[in-house]
A and B are shown apart, each in its own frame.
Chain A
């Protein structure tokens, strides 16, 4: 007769993904490809910001884009049309986030052998993507003015994870009741190391500061 026994596991449900993500970061380092995981709510301006940013970065780096947001076929097309860089879509099969395994398959299909910098446009959502480490070299996010200044209070995890927080659509700040100082204070309370830049992806305002941020970030990553 078979006996029933208990095996104690005591392991986080995310443990295997975290291991895969760490391996992926090492793999990227070995290949000299810097992967940026970009998160935001739907419509905060991920695609518009990437387009503006890539047009200023592409003379210095060989860039690729992986689109995982819901209307990703549209976004992938629009990115490659408006920037000329290589872009693919990743099928999330209805998942609300990407994990390290899906990210790795995306990298295999975009082929990073000739890329210095890859942007991953994650699924538009402030909760789920923050829970899963994609294996990216850095995490960044966009918060847009119409979403309100209380988002860092409501969704602290994504703000804690991101090295860079862009506050987008500042061209529209007069139409919304958005307290910039309060918002920045809350972000820094959750993540004292965050760099916060106010931008307008539409007018191009302060995108040059984001460009400088990436130059510095890539230099220190390469020297590391």
Chain B
């Protein structure tokens, strides 16, 4: 359901862009979705394919879903590591003073239009 909320916001922004640029049809949309953004790919794709049926310019839009790996930085040893594999604790020095660098965002990359 969270997925549907994001889909609606993405579609709204792309439809506005299509209007502004006087696009005939949006053929493809590329999104970069972080591994720890909370988005479940299957739900997202289902929600997307359902929601585009109600749009003006995106009825046949193909979705390119690119997953972005989550990376965490350790403040103590200044190294990075894979968030999903190791979680909050740094695998190099076992510090918990770590923060996420990438992997949370949902990013609209580009669209192919005619």
Contact = CB atoms under 8 A, between A and B. Distances in A.
Interface residues of B, number: 32
Which among B1, B9, B10, B21 has the greatest number of chain A C-beta atoms within 10 A? Answer: B9
A16 B12 contact: yes
B96 to A, nearest CB: 7
Contact of A13 (B10, B24, B110): B10
B105 A12 contact: yes
Contacts of B107: 10-13
B51 to A, nearest CB: 13
A128 B2 contact: yes
Interface in B83-114: 88, 96-97, 104-114
B6 A5 contact: no
Given A12-B106, A127-B38, A189-B96, A7 B5 contact: no
B27 A96 contact: no
A113 interface: no
Contact of B109 (A2, A5, A9, A189): A9
A14 interface: yes
Nearest to A7: B111
B1 A94 contact: yes
Contacts of B60: none
B66 to A, nearest CB: 13
Please provide the 3 A-B residue pairs with the shortest distance between their CB atoms, ordered closest to farther: A13-B106, A128-B2, A96-B1
Interface of A: 2-17, 94-97, 99, 127-128, 131-132, 153, 157, 189
Interface of B: 1-2, 4-6, 9-10, 12-14, 16-17, 21, 23-24, 27, 31, 38, 88, 96-97, 104-114
